[in-house]
Copies of this chain bind each other. A is one copy, B any other.
Amino acid sequence: MTVKKMKTSSFKTIGLIGKPQHKKASQTMRECYAFLKEKGFKVIVDERVRRDVEIKGMLFDNVIGIGRLCDLAIVIGGDGNMLGAARILARDDIAVIGVNRGNLGFLTDLSPDNFKAPLLQVLEGNYQSEERFLLDVEIYSHGQLKSANSAVNEAILHPAKIAKMIEFAIYVDDNFMINQRSDGIIISTPTGSTAYSLSAGGPILTPKLNVLSLLSMYPHTLNSRPIVIDADSNICIEISQSNDIEMQVSCDSHVNLSVLSGDRVLIRKTKHSLKLVHPEHYSYFHVLQKKLGWGNKLY
């Protein structure tokens, strides 16, 4: 993680992105709005929460507009809201920080009860900045691009309905890696390595690494292991003709792209990346300690 300490802030226009119809998130957004206005910033609010927070003189725009017009976006919600915003904001040159409504999040490090002091640090230019890359996912059928989307955490190939074995081959930069029969495969970024991939037995990848992990889901062999590869690799999954069921590639468990036998799934790093900022004393390991209970004794 690169620590950038600037003496004066480069942030002038700030976007507030929220969680619609969520009382506590709305309350935090109102506090945050007042705080920013008091400090003299121009603020644009996520139009999806207009009915929850509108006061006189408030400016609204959608997330795409916020990405284009603002220097910093503050996402007030859970990691899910952050993932949704991140997929859009990564395209623009905007810094992003999160205030978590609930527990400490992996992506949203500010606490709603105590966000002002650390946020002020950030606004004054005393922050850490890091780039989190995303995955571009493209589905090809008979050589034609059928659908595409992007993922901050992970892309998962799996059957569309119940847990059922599928068969596919993986190529990395045109080199054959493996033929596999399993319930699917998880391709995770470092950001996603503490999410679904972790539940499935994948390694934790520290955020600044330019790597991906590939992880089989319930493989029909005993010799499958997680493998970590260069994030600049082109991954191609060839779906075997032998599969007789519909499949999907799920991006961040939000968007599902339909996949059929014989299709090819291409996965590579996006050109743009998400610019996350953290308060000066942020530590990734501290988040692991808090979220994963690192330090608890068993016996």
- In the bound assembly, the distance between CA atoms of A6 and B23 in angstroms comes to 55
18 A-B pairs (CB sep. < 8 Å): A156-B163, A158-B163, A161-B161, A161-B162, A163-B184, A163-B253, A164-B253, A176-B286, A179-B295, A202-B203, A204-B226, A206-B230, A209-B211, A220-B298, A221-B294, A222-B298, A223-B294, A293-B296
Within the complex, the shortest CB–CB distance from A42 to chain B, in Å, comes to: 34
Contacts of A34 in B (CB 8 A): none
- In the bound assembly, the distance between CA atoms of A226 and B298 in angstroms comes to 16
- In the bound assembly, the distance between CA atoms of A162 and B162 in angstroms comes to 7
**Interface positions of A from 192 to 247, Cβ below 8 Å from B:** 194-196, 198-206, 208-209, 211, 213, 218-230
**Interface positions of A from 159 to 198, Cβ below 8 Å from B:** 160-164, 172, 175-179, 181-184, 194-196, 198
A291 within 8 Å of B by Cβ? Answer: yes
Contact, CB under 8 Å: B178 / A299: no
Within the complex, the shortest CB–CB distance from A176 to chain B, in Å, comes to: 6
Given A220-B299, A297-B181, also A203-B213 (CB < 8 A): yes
A106 within 8 Å of B by Cβ? Answer: yes
Contact, CB under 8 Å: A228 / B205: yes
Interface residues on A, range: 35 or more
Within the complex, the shortest CB–CB distance from A8 to chain B, in Å, comes to: 27
Contacts of A298 in B (CB 8 A): 198-199, 219-222, 291-292
**Interface positions of A from 243 to 299, Cβ below 8 Å from B:** 248, 250, 253, 256, 283, 285-286, 288-289, 291-299
A79 within 8 Å of B by Cβ? Answer: yes
Contact, CB under 8 Å: B223 / A293: yes
